[in-house]
Amino acid sequence: MHNNRIHGIGLLFVFITLLIAAVIGIIIYSGQETTNFQGFAESNETTINTEIPVSIKKVLVMEGDTVSKGQKLAEFESQDLAFRIAAIRTQLLQLEAKKGMSKAEIQSKILQNKAAERAVISELDSQIKTLENQLKINRELSGGLKSVRIKHDDSAKNPIEIQIEALKSAKEERRKEFAETNRMYKRMLSEDYTPEKIETQKLTEELESLEKKNADMALYAPFSGIIGSVFNKNGNGERVFLKGGEKVAAYSPVMSIINNEPSFVKGYIPESHFSAIKIGETVTITSTNNKTPISGIVTGLGGRIIPLPSRLLKNQNLPLWGREIVVKIPENNGFILGEKVNIAYGKNIWDNIAKLLFSYPNSELSAKEPYKKKLNKSKDLTPVPLRSGEGDSGLVEIVSDEPLKIEASGAVFVEETGNFIVVSDETEKKQPLLFEVGKGGLAKRIKIENLDKINDLESIAKESESSYLVMSSMSYSKKGKLKAERRILASFTLTQGKAELKNSVDFYEILKDFAEKSEGTAADFLKKGIVEKSIDAEGMFVLENSLFIAFKDPLFEEKGVIFEISDYKKIFSEKKISENQIQMTFIKDLPKDLRISDIYMISKDAFFFTASCSDEKCGGFFKFENGKSSLIKNFPSLKPEGIAVDKNGNFFIFFDLGQKENSKFMNLGRI
């Protein structure tokens, strides 16, 4: 027995020795996992431009000045505006002596106006075509000069390109003017107004608007920051510093402004470790001035190995090489613009120890996984555990104890139940199905009663407490067909888990009728989509009495398009849309190869939207404000298709993972 005791103590000693060796090994291994490198705290420099050609009256700031949001930076004047104001005043004087016109004269005016529009647009198209040909020739010539090294500045536009943009802008504005004149004459035919009264009212409103614009022709700071530069660019692409009397073309840069506080860190990861980090991963950042570490998210990796900046070299005579890395950091980070920071990436050693000592082997985890997947059979939507591997990314899979296949294409939050209503672009036998989804991911189906069929259901919007809209995409199928069930806009009620149809219309036919009978940009956009068979509506939102519709396709002059249809409930009663009901918003800076997939409106001028890649699973979540888009979150391997916001203001993004995987969603929190 004594020998057995000695033998047992010996085994225990061996076990403890092996355990200590394992812990030491983990510590050494973990130390090797951590990668440390350096970089600089930086901020984006935003270029500010004007939307119309102007002359500089006065520049009120200098480079390096600190400015506040809304501060006036420069004063302008516009010769075009002055001419237009003078012309309107002359027209108003002439109207005092002008006699009324008969209906025949009004109809003649309509024909004359259309003829004038065709002539003007034709002339502008001819000028644009001439400049485009000239630009093409110039590029071919410069491409053929093999012995000449031409330095290209991607941020500077060719003078011919600027002229083309200005002409296209003028073309759009002239179309709007002619369309407004046509609407005026049509009102004169249909309503009991004198022509003089209508035209006087129109010109007076325009005059007031132009005079107000002319009185406040100025440039204001879009946010608080530091003036980076005050410049323009001449025809050779050289910077010309602005002064009074300088002329600036439309959309030309005037000055730039930099955030007071860094918004990102540009680091340089050593060449030997460049493959150790990926986009979307978290790093820790510290500086010598601020000892408190902060977390950042990797948003970009350089595509090549470059020499490290001299500030990062210990020996200036010994160059080092590495790869650029961009890390987004939170606001109020305490860093100083341009200061050197340390970036650390790696796993905590105690996490590794815990994993070794307390984790199950892979085989045991696999055996336990079915318990995580077990569904609540009570059919309620109480939260269920996240599936293995999804907790870290924040994704929740939509699952059910029914044989459901959901390809999420839109979602709304229902305050009364605390759940989401999700629509799917494909349902079995084209049934009009909705899916009620809890925040834990458990789903159950709801059928819209009295609606026969609907297919390619891409969007849903909440009208009121119990009233909702759903809409098909109106896009052609892969077989080149556009059947009735892909053309529907429907309204329904949802109470106590039961959905019942109120009304439905062939919305594609209504839009087609509008395009054929109307003039202007909205009609041109729809005509383009109808001819190309490219119309694809993916997002929808109701704000007050307006219905907002976001089109995935077509683009209009490379810009994303959103319709605002005022007094939209007339669509169901009158089965038509009038010209004065539609206003358009253009997303001019929509990233290339991305298309709008859903919208969430805050106001008519500010909203959030998701955009998905055209040919693969990727996309982003954006905010649109002051005419510009800003990326909130990038999804490099997910296709965002829907936005919903709960009663606490938390944003949820829904993803379509295709036919082989269940859809998922993510809580981004309050934005």
> What is the model's pLDDT at position 163?
81
CA-closest candidate to residue 222, choices 630, 501, 636, 608 = 630
CB 215 within 8 A of CB 251: no
Angle between helices 159-190 and 103-144 (to 10 degrees): 170
Confidence of residue 150 (pLDDT cuts 50, 70, 90): very low
pLDDT of residue 553: 92
Are 427 and 663 spatial neighbours (Cβ–Cβ below 8 Å)?
no
Contact (CB, 8 A) for 467 and 491: yes
Answer with the residue of higher pLDDT: 432 or 58. Answer: 432
- Please report which confidence band the pLDDT of residue 474 belongs to, taking 50, 70 and 90 as the band edges: very high
Mean pLDDT value of segment 422-441: 88
- What does the pLDDT look like over 209-253, one tens digit per residue? 777 776 667 888 888 888 877 765 554 555 555 656 677 776 677
Per-residue pLDDT band at 287 (split at 50, 70, 90):
confident
How is residue 629 written in tokens?
């888009």
What the block records as the tokens of 368 is 């336990």
Q: Which is more confident, 386 or 285?
A: 285
The average pLDDT across 465-473 equals 93
Compare 111 and 289 and report the one with higher pLDDT. Answer: 111
pLDDT at 105: 73
Strand 498-506, strand 443-449: pairing: parallel
Please identify which residue in the block is written with the tokens 């900046």: 309
C-alpha 215/C-alpha 206 separation (Å) is 14
| Alpha-carbon gap, residue 663 to 398, rounded angstroms | 6
pLDDT range class, residue 151, cuts 50, 70, 90: very low
Q: How many alpha carbons lie under 13 Å from residue 356 in its C-beta half-sphere?
A: 15
For range 118-144, the mean pLDDT: 82
In the structure encoding, which two tokens stand for residue 245, read together?
């009397």
Q: Give, in order, the Cα–Cα distances in Å from 406 to each of 23, 345, 379, 656.
A: 46, 37, 17, 8
Neighbours of 170 (CB within 10 A): 17
Task: Using DSSP bridges, classify how beta strands 457-462 and 650-655 pair: parallel, antiparallel or unpaired.
Answer: unpaired
Q: What angle do CA 449, 453, 455 make, to 5 degrees?
A: 125
What average pLDDT does range 478-500 have in this prediction?
90
Q: Cα separations (Å) of 425 from 431, 457, 487, 537, 539?
A: 11, 4, 13, 12, 12
What whole-number distance in Å separates Cα of residue 7 and Cα of residue 343? 51
Higher local confidence (pLDDT), 338 or 29: 338
| pLDDT tens-digit readout, 51-65 | 677 778 888 888 888
d(CA 160, CA 591): 23
Q: Which residue has the higher pLDDT, 367 or 20?
A: 20
Q: What are phi and psi of 329, to 5 degrees?
A: -120, 155
Of how many residues is the chain composed?
671
Asked if the model's pLDDT at residue 375 lies above 70, the reply is no
Q: Which strands sit side by side in the sheet containing 559-566, from one edge to the other?
A: 536-543, 546-556, 559-566, 582-587
**CA separation for the pair 621, 600 (Å, rounded):** 11
pLDDT band at 42 (very low <50, low <70, confident <90, very high): confident
Mean pLDDT of 31-50: 76
User: What letter does residue 376 receive in the DSSP assignment?
Assistant: P
Strand residues in 236-339 grouped as ranges (E)? 239-240, 247-248, 253-259, 264-270, 282-287, 294-307, 321-328
Range with the poorest average pLDDT among 2-16, 290-304, 548-562? 2-16
130: left (phi over 0), alpha (psi -120 to 50) or beta: alpha
The owner of tokens 């700071």 is 221
**CA proximity to 552, closest of 598, 620, 513, 507:** 598
Give the start-to-end residue ranges of the domains of the chain. Answer: 36-43+261-347, 50-145+155-254, 366-670
Q: In which residue are the tokens 């012995």 written?
A: 147
Of 525 and 348, which is predicted with more confidence?
Answer: 525
Of the pLDDT bands very low, low, confident and very high (cuts 50, 70, 90), residue 10 is low
Q: 524 exposed, middle or buried (CB, 10 Å; 0-12, 13-18, 19+)?
A: middle
Mean pLDDT along residues 95-124: 77
Which residues on adjacent β-strands are paired with residue 46? 257
Residue position matching structure tokens 């993803």: 655
Q: Give, in order, the Cα–Cα distances in Å from 422 to each of 31, 401, 425.
A: 46, 17, 10
Q: What is the pLDDT of residue 30?
A: 47
Q: At 459, is the secondary structure helix, strand, or coil?
A: strand
Instruction: Give the residue-averaged pLDDT of 28-45.
Output: 72
Q: Tell me which of 390-394, 431-435, 551-555 is least confident.
A: 390-394
User: Given the structure tokens 């202007």, which residue do they identify?
Assistant: 520
Task: Please tell me whether residue 2 adopts helix, strand or coil conformation.
Answer: helix
| Torsion angles phi and psi, residue 567, rounded to 5 | 50, 45
Q: What is the pLDDT of residue 617?
A: 83
- Looking at the chain, the number of H-run helices and the number of E-run strands are 10, 36
pLDDT digits (tens, 9 = 90+) for 553-597: 999 888 999 999 999 999 999 999 998 899 999 999 988 889 999
pLDDT, mean of residues 482-492: 93
- Which residue type does 150 have? I
CATH of 366-670, one of 2.120.10, 1.10.540, 3.20.20, 3.40.250: 2.120.10
The position carrying tokens 């002008």 is 98
Cis preceding-peptide flag for 330 (omega within 30 of 0): no
pLDDT band per the 50, 70, 90 thresholds, residue 381: very low
CATH among 2.80.10.50, 2.40.30.170, 2.60.40.1260, 2.40.128.50 for 36-43+261-347: 2.40.30.170
| pLDDT reading at 378 higher than 60 | no
DSSP label of 399 = B
Helix, strand and coil content of the chain, in percent to the nearest 5, comes to 30, 35, 35
pLDDT confidence tier of residue 99, bands split at 50, 70 and 90: low
